[in-house]
Amino acid sequence: MIELIKQIIEQDGLAQKNRKREIVHRRIYLFRKLREDGHTLKGIGSLFNMNHATILHGLKTYQDLSDVNDKLFLHDIEYYKLLLSLERPELDLRKEIKEAKNLKDLRKIQLRIRNKFY
């Protein structure tokens, strides 16, 4: 899993300084996954070019957002959850296309197709 996370960090530019909400949410989700796998704060920090205190703050923020089921947070990390999950949920392409309400939904479907989730 660490290799996949390293690839995601590189591909999505998560190690670069960026305070956009989506990037921060995705970054702290990966902090949590790495911590659950037993990585140290310093080790996680080195992957993201950050110090241990930043990682610790990110983990607390993750917990706070998870506790309140923040909809934006859950939306922002959905793709990473699918990508990193061992058990991928059953996805119905036709149903998702019919239920798509905007261009963002269609882009999400496009990403899933590219990554062979259907």
Does 69 share its domain with 116? Answer: no
- Contact indicator for 9, 41 with CB cutoff of 8 Å: no
pLDDT of 23 above 70: yes
| Amino acid sitting at position 85 | S
Using alpha carbons only, give the angle 52, 22, 112 rounded to the nearest 5 degrees.
115
Question: Are 70 and 107 in a shared domain?
Answer: no
Do 55 and 97 lie in one domain? The reply is no
44-84 confidence digits (pLDDT tens) = 999 999 999 999 999 999 999 999 999 999 999 999 998 88
Do 83 and 95 fall within a single domain?
no
Q: How many domains does the chain have?
A: 2
What pLDDT is attached to residue 89?
62
Query: Is the full-model pTM beyond 0.95?
Result: no
The structure tokens listed for 28 are 């702290």
Least confident of 52-56, 61-65, 85-89, 112-116: 85-89
Residue range(s) defining the domain that contains residue 112? 90-118
* Nearest C-alpha neighbor of 74 from the set 66, 85, 82, 84: 66
Measured CA distances, 39 to 4, 35, 68 (Å):
15, 5, 26
The pLDDT of residue 113 is above 80: yes
